[in-house]
Copies of this chain bind each other. A is one copy, B any other.
């Protein structure tokens, strides 16, 4: 039997998290507020950094991620009760920045409810300046993405 995260795996998302929709995520329109998807994207960014094993490499380099941009396309209205599965994959590796795609799967609707991406800059918080993505971080991301980036 299919698991709810299988469709996201089939779309190439190797990092997937599961978050229950809370009643209070809904706004006066009676559906999940648009800011909640952005919070889910954030949680999926954090999880990707853990799942891909790059956190210790970044720590060793004295770097941390900083969000430069986010974009979200809202595909379906989501309502409580539901469970969201959120996938993350890196689709582009630049010099100091990378692009991460996100997709939210609604378990109840069995469909993608939102899609988007984040632009993340590798940042030296001590120096308050962007830095090139270290080679070992690039290698770890490419391995995690199985060569798709």
Contact = CB atoms under 8 A, between A and B. Distances in A.
Interface of A: 17-20, 22-24, 26-28, 30, 33-35, 38-39, 42-43, 46, 66-74, 80
Contacts of A18: 20
Contact of A69 (B33, B39, B43, B74): B74
A17 B26 CA distance: 18
Nearest to A70: B72
Given A38-B38, A70-B72, A74-B68, A33 B43 contact: no
Nearest to A115: B69
Contact of A35 (B19, B28, B35, B66): B35
A28 B33 CA distance: 10
Nearest to A117: B71
Contacts of A68: 73-74
Contacts of A23: 27-28, 42-43, 46
Contact of A71 (B19, B24, B43, B71): B71
A37 B22 CA distance: 13
B73 A34 contact: no
A42 B46 contact: no
Given A69-B71, A70-B72, 7 more contacts: A23-B43, A24-B39, A34-B67, A35-B35, A67-B74, A69-B72, A71-B72
Contacts of A28: 23, 26-28, 30, 80
